[in-house]
Structure 1
Amino acid sequence: MPEPTQHSVRETFDSGIPPQHGTSSVIVVGAGLAGLAAAHELTRQGVTVTVLEADSRPGGRTWTLREPFADGLRAEAGAMTVTEHCHYTMHYLKEMGIGTEPSDLVDTDFGYHRNGVRIPPDKVGEHADLLGLHPDERHLTVEGMIARYVTEFNEKLGPEIAQPVWAPTPRLLELDRVSVRRVLEERGASAAAIGLMEPFFLEMRGGELESASAMAWARYESGPRSFSTAGAQWYKVEGGTDMLARALASRLGERILYRKPVVRIAQDDREAQVTFLDHGRLRTLCADRVVVTAPFSSMRRVNLSMARLSAAKHAAIRRLRYASTVRVFLQMRRKFWPERRLMLSTDTAVRTVRDATPHLPGPRRIVECWLTGWQAQAAAAMSPEERVAYALNELEPILPGARENFELGTSVAWDNEPYAAGAYILPEKGHSELMAAIRAPEGRIHFAGEHTAFEPNGGSMNYALESSIRVLMEMSSP
């Protein structure tokens, strides 16, 4: 069978995944969505599957926080949205009997907090001096800035930028050599305009426009999943994003071994071996194949000296970067801000402030403070208590009354999560050089997860699920 493509994976998934030939046992490293889906499909085919999960829960970076909040409140620490274009996610949600509802990220009362002033997106021109806009930007809304500096230029790149199947042309690969910020500056955007547009570049919200690949960004902004064009077709998983992982995990039952961090992967001509920690002891399992779904950021801590990986794979594992984000959740006794569905982009260390519970009943609310980039790295170095106190201090000038109404808080610093070590991939300049090596199988070892997607952007449940089907196709090939 030839190497799977984005088109052939979709076609195979819709027509029926082929049976495995010569594979009777598989070890899956990681119980995120990619690992769970792969294990689920292999189990249905009668393959003996063992899933090794380092954490105590399934889902990986789909993580719904239900504690320590009161009144049944919950908040998403990781993945949040699904669209009608997320074919694989929608399939598994339907199969598991899980519904969707409108996303909290659309139809918000979005605004800016700049120099202590609240500014609606359609009124930025009235605050041009305060913001530092160029003279020829003063008549533009933020939507107009995106049209001028993003949409119009991307349309000139040619139809290939928005094709359903990703196939980068030489012209697009040229963009992979430059950063998002440089491209925007070359198009004439002021620093103020870039700051106003940045909150809409959802996949690039690692606060790293200086290093993020302009190719990956242009692809995302030209597609149907772009936040700048988000509409009612954006959804969230009913009951919490982790409901899908929980449902898949329940189908697998005792095949998932929790709190079993992998420390070594090896292979020879006969089998693959995975060594892991089991209550303070080392255990090794052998199987015909291994499917590695753990992020490369965490794989850097696994011994791969006997895994027979190519130099290109080792280089990709070392080079692939993940975005730094810290998400702080503050429970408030009541809604004390005027916005119906609060969402603010700020010029403080807390880049985004939003009501994380706009549709949940009861008087209490959870306010999320979202930090990215170097500010997130700084907050990650704080203790959990310091992090909450820091976010609350930053929030008070933005939402006066925050201290008075604060009840409790918690946070997730993704850089500190030992088995994730980052929030989602940040495709930097030169990312196209890594993509083939990232997803390529190596003998008996296969690689899945959002970072192995055909697309140059990660951070998607759909890409994670797609990658699991690609791996099954690789394994079924004679």
Structure 2
Amino acid sequence: MPEPTQHDVRETFDSGLPPQHGVSSVIVVGAGLAGLATAHELTKQGVPVTVLEAGDRPGGRTRTLREPFADGLYAEAGAMTVTEHCHYTMRYLRETGVGTEPSDLVDTDFGYHRGGVRIPPDKLGEHAGLLGLHPDEHGLTVGDLITRYVSDFNDALGPETARPDWTPSPRLLELDRLSVRRVLEDRGASAAAIDLMEPLFLEMRGGELESASAMAWARYESGPRSFSTADARWYKISGGTDMLARALADGLRERILYRSPVVRIAQDDWAAEVTFLDHGRLRTLRADRAVITAPFGSLRRVNLSTARLSAAKHTAIRRLRYASTVRVFLQMRRRFWPEKRLMLSTDTAIRTVRDATPRQPGPRAIVECWFSGWRAQATAAMSPEERVAHTLEDLEPILPGAREHFELGASVAWDNEPYAAGAYILPETGHSELMAGIRAVEGRLHFAGEHTAFEPNGGSMNYALESAVRVLMEMASMASTVPV
């Protein structure tokens, strides 16, 4: 069966998903959005489905922290945004009756904190010496830097960089051999200019620009999800990002087995077989098909010796990297900073400081401190208590008064989450070599999740949901071609 294209998947989703006449039962590994959507659609067609979730909640890396905060405050520890271009997410939001509201990432009082000095984006020229900009960059805004070193070059690559269906051209494949930093340096950007632009390369901030694929970055920056062009059409899910996962899971209550980590996946000519822990005992289920939505970082812990996977799949599972991020949340007694919607890019270990609750009522607020790359890996090695204390100490010079107003803290270190093993896919140089193997069907095993997207960049609820539709198309098409 030829693999469906992005266009095929979108068209099928809009016109109606195919019937699963030849599929008698399905096991779904993971209750993230991809797994929930897959189970949701199969259930609507009457196909028996069991969802195995290692954790105690639905949603995967859509994670809203509500505890231990006071006054009903909450913060997002995972996925945060939805745009008008998130076709699948918007459709499921409408279907489940979950609303949206303006994103907290747009219309912020964004600024830089460099060398202990607050610098507004429109005042870079006044601090060019402190920043270390090249002489020919002194009069440029951040937007000018993006245009000079990113947009103009990407436009010259051709229309394939931004067209809806992703098919990397030879020129883009050449970029896949280079890192983002290498390409920016070759284009003449100073280290200071790269540092100022980096916060706007949203999906690349979970790791070092030294290893990120320039192909994936060019595609991201040329598309509608680019943070550098974010506008009022960026939204968040009302009440918390986890509301969509909860709504989908609500119709699957008896079909989801929580605290059921998978330890072995196998298949033969007749069935897929999944072994998991059920209250400390091994239990095995067999089904006509299995849909694996678990991130590859966690899949490395699962025995796949009799899964009949191809060499390309094994390579993808071993090599695919996930972003290292730590998000620390500090509840403050009141908003003591002058900005209405605080958001700072810093030159400290805390890469970003922002008000995570700018539109939530009450005097209290949650300040989020975002660590990425090797700094996140170091912070993840601390205990939760050490992590909060370390963050508060580093935050005080950035936000004087933080210690005085601090009440309590919480954190999520995504590298330490055993069934996630990272925040979201981080496409490194050579990522194009893995893409086909990542999502390829392997006999009775199908693969979904944001990491299996057609696009080289994951980190998107929309891509997770798109992958579920693709898998449903695969199952319907292949049901009559596999021995039963």
Q: Give the TM interval when normalised to the shorter protein.
A: over 0.9
**Cα shift at 1:324:** 0.2
Residue equivalent to 1:252? 252
Task: Please tell me whether residue 190 in structure 1 is matched to residue 190 in structure 2.
Answer: yes
| Per-residue Cα deviation, 1:341-382 (whole angstroms, up to 9, x for no partner) | 000000000000000000000000000000000000000000
Paired residue type of 1:68: P
Residue equivalent to 2:282? 282
Task: Please tell me whether residue 292 in structure 1 is matched to residue 303 in structure 2.
Answer: no
Paired residue type of 1:252: L
Residue equivalent to 1:385? 385
Residue equivalent to 2:148? 148
Q: List aligned pairs for 1:162-241, cutoff 5 A.
A: 162-241=162-241
Alpha-carbon distance in 1 for matches of 2:210, 2:142: 21
Residue equivalent to 1:94? 94
**Cα shift at 1:454:** 0.2
Alpha-carbon distance in 2 for matches of 1:119, 1:146: 18
Residue equivalent to 2:473? 473
| Per-residue Cα deviation, 1:90-116 (whole angstroms, up to 9, x for no partner) | 000000001100000000000000000
Residue equivalent to 1:329? 329
Q: Secondary structure at the match of 1:398?
A: coil
Residue equivalent to 2:399? 399
Alpha-carbon distance in 1 for matches of 2:73, 2:131: 36
| Per-residue Cα deviation, 1:18-62 (whole angstroms, up to 9, x for no partner) | 001321100000000000000000011110000000000000000
Q: Secondary structure at the match of 1:71?
A: coil
Residue equivalent to 1:125? 125
Specify every segment of 5 or more residues in structure 2 that has no aligned partner in the other structure, as ranges: none
**Cα shift at 1:207:** 3.4
Residue equivalent to 1:372? 372
Paired residue type of 1:11: E
**Cα shift at 1:122:** 1.0
Alpha-carbon distance in 2 for matches of 1:450, 1:207: 17
Paired residue type of 2:124: V
Paired residue type of 2:257: L
Alpha-carbon distance in 1 for matches of 2:152, 2:207: 24
**Cα shift at 1:195:** 0.2
Task: Please tell me whether residue 306 in structure 1 is matched to residue 297 in structure 2.
Answer: no
| Per-residue Cα deviation, 1:377-428 (whole angstroms, up to 9, x for no partner) | 0000000000000100010000000000000000000000000000000000
Alpha-carbon distance in 2 for matches of 1:3, 1:71: 49
- Partners of 2:207 and 2:426 within 8 A in 1: no
| Per-residue Cα deviation, 1:189-225 (whole angstroms, up to 9, x for no partner) | 0000000000000010113100000000000000011
Alpha-carbon distance in 2 for matches of 1:10, 1:136: 45
Residue equivalent to 1:271? 271
Paired residue type of 1:245: A
Residue equivalent to 1:363? 363
Q: Secondary structure at the match of 1:397?
A: coil
Alpha-carbon distance in 1 for matches of 2:258, 2:275: 14
Task: Please tell me whether residue 346 in structure 1 is matched to residue 346 in structure 2.
Answer: yes
Q: Secondary structure at the match of 2:273?
A: strand
Alpha-carbon distance in 1 for matches of 2:154, 2:121: 22
Alpha-carbon distance in 1 for matches of 2:206, 2:449: 19
Residue equivalent to 1:9? 9
**Cα shift at 1:125:** 1.0
Alpha-carbon distance in 2 for matches of 1:468, 1:214: 27
- Partners of 2:263 and 2:301 within 8 A in 1: yes
Residue equivalent to 1:448? 448
Residue equivalent to 2:39? 39
Q: List aligned pairs for 1:54-133, cutoff 5 A.
A: 54-133=54-133
TM-score by length of 2: 0.98
Q: Secondary structure at the match of 2:424?
A: coil
For these two proteins, the number of residue pairs brought into alignment is: 478
CA RMSD of aligned residues (A): 0.5
Paired residue type of 1:166: W
Paired residue type of 1:31: A
Residue equivalent to 2:316? 316
TM-score by length of 1: 1.00
Moved more, 371-380 or 199-208: 199-208
- Partners of 2:325 and 2:376 within 8 A in 1: yes
| Per-residue Cα deviation, 1:238-271 (whole angstroms, up to 9, x for no partner) | 0000000000000111100000000000000111
